[in-house]
């Protein structure tokens, strides 16, 4: 939506969070202090409105001017709605309630900067599931 990035000048106080919890069985106390993730990941969409002609108006908060402010843009979408998002998918049956997604073997390659994970669909229904 915007070409601007959030700004964190030295004078801006950081939004920190802190907390503690204890385990009654072991008397271990855990504490944490950190920067609130919402503070450093600006651009959160705070609203989306659409007007009578189909024009969308998203709103978000960012501080690229040095002050957190509410911003908006006009987004016009052309085209027509198609079942499942594409004409070649329109005749397919939605089986999302018949399967579950299982993820395993997560890996982060620091050199390449990539994350990979093994993803499998598992049939949880009593019916056969076939792919195209």
- State residue 126's pLDDT score: 94
pLDDT score at 50: 92
Distance CA(33)–CA(17), nearest Å, equals: 6
Q: Are 115 and 107 in contact (CB under 8 A)?
A: yes
Return the domain boundaries, the chain.
16-77
Average pLDDT, the chain: 82
Query: Could you report the per-residue pLDDT of 72-112, keeping only the tens digit for each?
Result: 889 998 888 888 888 898 888 888 888 998 989 888 888 88
Give the residue, 28 or 48, on which the prediction is more confident.
Answer: 48
> For the segment 5-31, what is each residue's pLDDT rounded down to a tens digit?
666 677 777 777 788 888 878 777 788
What string of H, E and C letters represents the secondary structure of the chain? CCCCCCCCCCCCCCCEEEEEEEECCCCEEEEEEEECHHHHCCCCEEEEEECCCCEEEEEEEECCCCCCEEEECCEECCCCCCHHHCHHHCCCCCCCCCEEEEEEEEEEECCCCEEEEEEEEEECCCCCCCCC
- The secondary structure element, H or E, covering residue 39 is helix 37-40
């Amino acid at each position: 939506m915007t070409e601007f990035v959030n700004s964190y000048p030295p004078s801006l106080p950081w939004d920190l969070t802190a907390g503690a919890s204890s385990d009654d069985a072991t008397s271990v106390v855990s504490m944490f202090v950190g920067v609130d993730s919402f503070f450093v990941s600006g651009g959160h969409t705070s609203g989306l409105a659409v007007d009578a002609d189909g024009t969308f108006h998203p709103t978000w908060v960012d501080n690229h001017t040095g002050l957190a402010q509410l911003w908006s843009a006009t987004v016009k979408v052309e085209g027509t709605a198609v079942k499942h998002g594409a004409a070649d998918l329109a005749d397919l049956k939605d089986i999302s309630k018949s399967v579950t997604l299982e993820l395993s073997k997560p890996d982060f390659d620091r050199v390449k900067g990539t994350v990979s994970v093994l993803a499998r669909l598992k049939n949880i229904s009593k019916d056969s599931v076939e792919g195209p």
